Amino acid sequence: MFARTFAKTSILVAAVVAAGMLLPVVAQASELVMFEQAGCVYCQRWDRDVGSLYGKTPEAQALPLRRIDIQNQRSSGVTLASPIRYTPTFVVVDNGREVGRITGYSNDDSFWGLLDALAAKLAPPLHETNRI
């Protein structure tokens, strides 16, 4: 009896693990998805100007960065408003859906300003209210 139950449980666990491997990556609640491609000069500029310090910023705490090759956008797990055509394109995602995007990269000042504007579109975090 134990062997039969163990075998059924093992098969079920293996099936769940295999299904998880086949499904596209599910986007977390809020994130910044960077669509890029090899040889993109503007992607390299962003990496140099912003990418090296992005992970240490408050923006990265609210919008962790995930990189996707532009050729793999269909399997990104993000519901896009329209296809990505240019790199880099930065998509602010909330619960798997596009909130807004920044197409291209010119300089760090404009990137941070545009990112802040998109982040402001996200629902504010729920704060515990003071009860009297």
- The CATH number of whichever domain residue 62 belongs to comes to 3.40.30.10
Is residue 66 one of the residues assigned to a domain? yes
In a domain, 9, yes or no: no
In a domain? residue 126 = no
Predicted confidence at residue 128, as pLDDT, reads: 46
Task: Name the band, by pLDDT with cuts 50, 70 and 90, for residue 13.
Answer: very low
Residue 23 within any structural domain of the chain: no
Q: Which domain holds residue 36?
A: 30-119
**Cα–Cα distances in angstroms (integers) from residue 126 to residues 58, 88, 94, in the given order:** 18, 32, 15
**pLDDT for position 47:** 97
Provide the domain count of the chain.
Answer: 1
Residue 49 domain-assigned (yes or no): yes
The reply to whether 43 falls in a domain is yes
Q: What is the DSSP letter of 86?
A: S
pLDDT at 124: 65
Residues contacting residue 32 through CB under 8 Å, at least 6 positions apart: 59, 60, 63, 64, 65, 66, 90, 91, 92, 93, 115
Kindly indicate the confidence band of residue 7, based on its pLDDT and cuts at 50, 70 and 90.
very low
pTM here is: 0.73
Instruction: For residue 127, tell me if it sits in a domain.
Output: no
For residue 26, pLDDT beyond 60? no
Query: pLDDT for 74-119, tens place per residue?
Result: 999 999 999 999 999 999 999 999 999 999 999 999 999 999 999 9
Domain assignment present for residue 85? The answer is yes
Name the band, by pLDDT with cuts 50, 70 and 90, for residue 23. Answer: very low
The residue that leads in pLDDT, 108 or 131, is 108
